């Protein structure tokens, strides 16, 4: 059997194509079943599908890549030639190396992002539930998860902010010891605010208001995070209890002024308020930062944090790549050792059969009354001759053909000292 990785990601396919070949949790069991039923060469399969990639991890017999690629296109209503230019395929050790890089966040759009490891584990869980995993993928993916965990533990790959959304939540965590107890107001409902909401939910923040000019968009995001949606006109009332306010809209003028925040702080008895303005142009008047107990950060402030974090993550990524190379080398030795297992087993069985037959003859000779010394001497000669018969024939043939490499290998195998060569 062979290991195969086949898929598309953010570096090989545009977002509209990635969206078309994605698998949601409802269709995933059916897709796994189809792959196993339609292709006898596919023994085991795991499907990893996120917004930035769709990848199939396969244990296969023979060459099945063209058929699987055609199936992937057909399953999503595409032509094979539409998908093929964007597909990558890795085999064996290269496939394992790629899986390790993916699970560790080294192949992500945001270097070192932590969500991919959870998505990887979820993909494995789905495959197990569908009985689509077997010993080969269990072993390979177990190793992959182990390496990803080691990278998270031994490097700083996930310890620094590399997006303004993540940096905003990270800074909030430095000001408030328990983010989950905070009241949060998000202004806007675009992609940046969505990322902020995702990170907040990752810190178990549940008390979130989404305020937006278009209420429908606010309601969509609020439903996803189990929050509350409000029109922009309700902003003054919503910030009265807000510990954290994060804004990112397309407004041409500030929508959160000093007077609005000042009144809110009086009602809050000047408890700390953390405000992050991720918009360009700014959503928050600069004078807000002059207020006591208000911590105001702009996108420029966070960009400095992001640049520093990205540099540190890139350094950590170099260390992570070294760890992966080390683990792939270990995997290589494992595979090579496994290849010898069957040969060693067969060799033992052949010689055990010879030994048992010769022992049977020796016991018969002893029963007939032959002297034990004579019988044992004959047994020793017979075993030596039969054990060495085939190696002797092969080595003589190698010598006649000038195959010195085989002769040298045999000398190493049997620990024969050939230091002194005859004239």
Radius of gyration of the chain (CA): 33
User: How far apart (Å, rounded) are the C-alpha atoms in residues 296 and 270?
Assistant: 14
96-149 pLDDT tens trace:
999 999 999 999 877 787 778 989 999 999 999 999 999 999 999 999 999 999
273 contact partners, CB below 8 Å, separation of at least 6:
239, 242, 243, 244, 245, 261, 264, 265, 293, 294, 295
Any idea which fold 164-306 has?
A: Rossmann fold (3.40.50)
pLDDT at 262: 94
63 contact partners, CB below 8 Å, separation of at least 6:
41
Q: Is the pLDDT of residue 2 over 60?
A: yes
Active site residues: 51
Q: Is the pLDDT of residue 349 over 50?
A: yes
Q: Is the pLDDT of residue 61 over 60?
A: yes
Mean pLDDT of 23-45: 93
* Half-sphere exposure (Cβ direction) of 399: Cα atoms closer than 13 Å: 8
Q: Where are the domains of the chain?
A: 2-154, 164-306, 344-413
pLDDT at 417: 67
Q: Is the pLDDT of residue 82 over 70?
A: yes
Q: Is the pLDDT of residue 421 over 80?
A: no
Q: Cα dist. 297→219, 308, 325, 372 in Å?
A: 26, 16, 40, 96
Cβ-contact 106, 321 below 8 angstroms: yes
Q: Is the pLDDT of residue 348 over 80?
A: yes
pLDDT at 174: 83
Average pLDDT of the chain is 89
DSSP for 42-109, please give it. EEEEEEEE-SSEEEEEEEESS--HHHHHHHHHHHTT--HHHHGGG-EEEEHHHHHHHHHHHHTTTTSS
pLDDT at 64: 92
| Residue 56: strand pairing partners | 6, 47
Mean pLDDT of 287-294: 93
38 contact partners, CB below 8 Å, separation of at least 6:
71
Helix-helix angle 164-175:191-202, to 10 degrees: 40
User: How far apart (Å, rounded) are the C-alpha atoms in residues 394 and 406?
Assistant: 9
pLDDT at 58: 97
Dihedral sign (CA 184, 185, 189, 195): negative
pLDDT at 422: 43
User: How far apart (Å, rounded) are the C-alpha atoms in residues 133 and 181?
Assistant: 41
Q: What tokens were used for 192?
A: 């940046």
> What CATH number belongs to 2-154?
3.30.460.30
Q: Cα dist. 103→31, 121, 146 in Å?
A: 22, 9, 10
Residue percentage of the chain with pLDDT more than 70: 96
Mean pLDDT of 71-92: 95
User: How far apart (Å, rounded) are the C-alpha atoms in residues 206 and 387?
Assistant: 74
């Amino acid at each position: 059997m062979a290991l195969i990785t086949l898929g598309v990601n953010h570096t090989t396919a545009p977002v509209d194509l990635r969206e078309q070949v994605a698998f949601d949790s409802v269709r995933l069991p059916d897709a796994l079943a189809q792959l196993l039923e339609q292709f006898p060469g596919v023994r085991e399969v795991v499907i990893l599908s996120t917004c930035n990639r769709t990848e199939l991890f396969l244990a296969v017999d023979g060459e099945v890549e063209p058929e699987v690629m055609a199936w992937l296109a057909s399953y999503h209503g595409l032509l094979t030639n539409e998908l093929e230019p964007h597909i990558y395929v890795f085999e064996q050790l290269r496939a394992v190396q790629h899986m390790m890089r993916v699970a560790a966040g080294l192949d992500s759009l945001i270097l070192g992002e932590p969500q991919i490891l959870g998505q990887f584990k979820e993909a494995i869980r789905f495959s197990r539930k569908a009985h689509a995993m077997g010993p080969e993928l269990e072993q390979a993916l177990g190793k992959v998860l182990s390496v990803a965990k080691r990278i998270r533990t031994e490097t700083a790959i996930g310890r620094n902010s590399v997006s303004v959304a993540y940096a905003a939540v990270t800074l909030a965590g430095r000001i408030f010891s328990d983010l989950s107890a905070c009241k949060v107001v998000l202004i806007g409902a675009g992609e940046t605010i969505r990322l902020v909401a995702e990170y907040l939910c990752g810190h178990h923040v549940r008390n979130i208001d989404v305020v937006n000019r278009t209420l429908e968009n606010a309601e969509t995001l609020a439903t996803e995070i189990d929050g509350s949606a409000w029109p922009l006109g309700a902003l003054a009332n919503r910030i009265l209890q807000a510990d954290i306010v994060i804004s990112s809209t397309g407004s041409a003028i500030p929508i959160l002024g000093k007077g609005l925040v000042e009144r809110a702080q009086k009602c809050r008895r000047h408890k700390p308020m953390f405000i992050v303005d991720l918009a360009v142009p700014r959503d928050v008047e600069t004078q807000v930062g002059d207020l006591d107990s208000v911590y105001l950060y702009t996108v420029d402030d966070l960009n400095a944090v992001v640049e520093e974090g990205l540099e540190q993550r890139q350094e950590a990524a170099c260390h992570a790549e070294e760890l992966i190379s080390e683990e792939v080398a270990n995997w290589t030795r494992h595979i090579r050792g496994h290849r010898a297992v069957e040969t060693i087993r067969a060799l033992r069985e052949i010689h055990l059969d010879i030994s048992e037959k010769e022992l049977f003859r020796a016991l018969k000779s002893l029963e007939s009354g032959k002297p034990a010394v004579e019988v044992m001497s004959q047994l020793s000669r017979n075993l030596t001759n039969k054990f060495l018969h085939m190696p002797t024939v092969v080595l003589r043939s190698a010598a006649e053909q000038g195959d010195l490499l085989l002769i040298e290998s045999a000398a190493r195998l049997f620990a024969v000292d050939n230091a002194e060569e005859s004239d």
